[in-house]
Amino acid sequence: MQITPSDLGLIARAVGLTKRYGSAANPVTALDDVSLGLRRGEFTAIMGPSGSGKSTLMHLLAGLDQATSGQVWLGDTDITELPDAALTVLRRRRIGFVFQSFNLVPTLDVEANILLPFELDGRKPSGIERAWIDELVDALGLRARLRHRPHELSGGQQQRVAIARALATKPDLLFADEPTGNLDSRTGREVLALLADAAKTHGQSIAMVTHDPVAASFADRILYLSDGRIVRDSVRSTPEEISSYMLAMEAAA
């Protein structure tokens, strides 16, 4: 009998993940034999300087890109070899995304953006889901904005809409890619606090890619990447600790 990822309390797991770009003669290794497990209900930050492979790792974990070798599970589903159609349905139902910018469909208003994952699934939110969405809308302060288009919102408001959409389906795992990269530091901290709260209060599993020590300090766990490898796996840290480790890492490189 095999041990499944969920037996281990993991929401996502990767084994021997390698990604190479470029030609066979001149390959560029973005990710080099990475194995990891993301724990259910935890807010994990994936830290690293530019070019460390953190975005590539996220693309592979989210089924947005194909690995050169290695395996990826989301929950107990092996997504490594899933065809595009199945991956699409998986993204709809079991994964949430918050990007750095351009998170929202510009032609849809706030409410339609939040409900888009349900519509894509060809269904209306159930009563329980509806109540959850209402709760999110109020908690994120979007009640007065439901009829607005994205271009009428500030950057912070847009990120909150993206978070509401990502949390609405209660996905297995929420991926956030530099979610505060385009925000001023105060708005950024508000957004991070919202993510941390979703993990703490609602047990939402979150994987956040960032190079900002302040952002990473909101996470329960921090994975450091350098040159396509995980070089450190640490518990919650202060921004100062994270910064000094990053600086030491750069000095060693």
Partner 1 sequence: MNGRLRDHGSTLLVASLASGFGVLLLQVTGILGAVVLADDTTGSSATVKTMLDVVALVFVAIAVYVAAVTTANTVATIVAGRTRVIALLRLIGSSARTQRATIAREGLVVGLVGAVLGALVGTAAAWGIGAVGVATEQIPAFEYSYWTPVLLVPMVAVVLTTWLSAWTGSRRVLAVRPAEALGSSGEQSAEELGRRTGRTATGVTLIVLGVLALAGGVLVGLVHPAGVLVGVVGGILSFTGVVLVADRIMPAVLRAVGRWFGTTPPARLAAENAVRNPERSTRMTIGLVIGVTLVTMFAVTMETYRDAMYAVMEGQENVEAMLGPVIDGTVAVFSVLVGFSALIAAVGLVNTLSVSVLQRTREIGLLRALGFDRRQVRVMILAEAAALTVAATLTGLVLGFVYGWAGAQAMLGSMTGEPALLAPAVPWVVLAIIVVAAAALTALASLAPARRAGRVSPVVALAVE
Structure tokens at 91: 């993204």
Q: Cβ distance 50 to 72 under 8 Å?
A: no
Which of the ranges 27-35, 111-119, 228-236, 238-246 carries the binding residues for partner 1, by CB under 8 A? Answer: 111-119
Q: Which of residues 22-61 bind partner 1 (CB under 8 A)?
A: 55, 58-59
**Of the two residues 64 and 139, which places its CB atom closer to partner 1 in the complex?**
64
- Based on its alpha-carbon atoms, the radius of gyration of the chain, rounded to whole angstroms, reads 18
Q: List beta partners, residue 195.
A: none
Which of the ranges 18-26, 69-77, 95-103, 217-225 carries the binding residues for partner 1, by CB under 8 A? Answer: 95-103
**Of the two residues 121 and 134, which places its CB atom closer to partner 1 in the complex?**
121
Question: How far apart are CB 116 and partner 1 at their closest, in Å?
Answer: 6
Residue 96: φ, ψ to 5°: -115, 150
Task: Find the binder of partner 1 among 3, 85, 144, 235 (CB under 8 A).
Answer: 85
Binding mask 134-173 for partner 1 (x = CB under 8 A): ---------------x-x-------------x--------
Question: How far apart are CB 232 and partner 1 at their closest, in Å?
Answer: 24
3-class SS shares of the chain: helix, strand, coil, % to 5 = 40, 25, 35
CA distance 211 to 40: 23
Torsion, Cα 140 144 146 152, to 10 degrees, reads -100
Q: Cβ distance 90 to 78 under 8 Å?
A: no
Q: Cβ distance 155 to 188 under 8 Å?
A: no
Is 107 one of the binding residues for partner 1 (CB under 8 A)? Answer: yes
Q: Which residues bind partner 1 (CB under 8 A)?
A: 55, 58-59, 64-65, 84-85, 88-89, 91-93, 97, 99-108, 112, 116-117, 119-122, 149, 151, 165, 177-178, 181-182
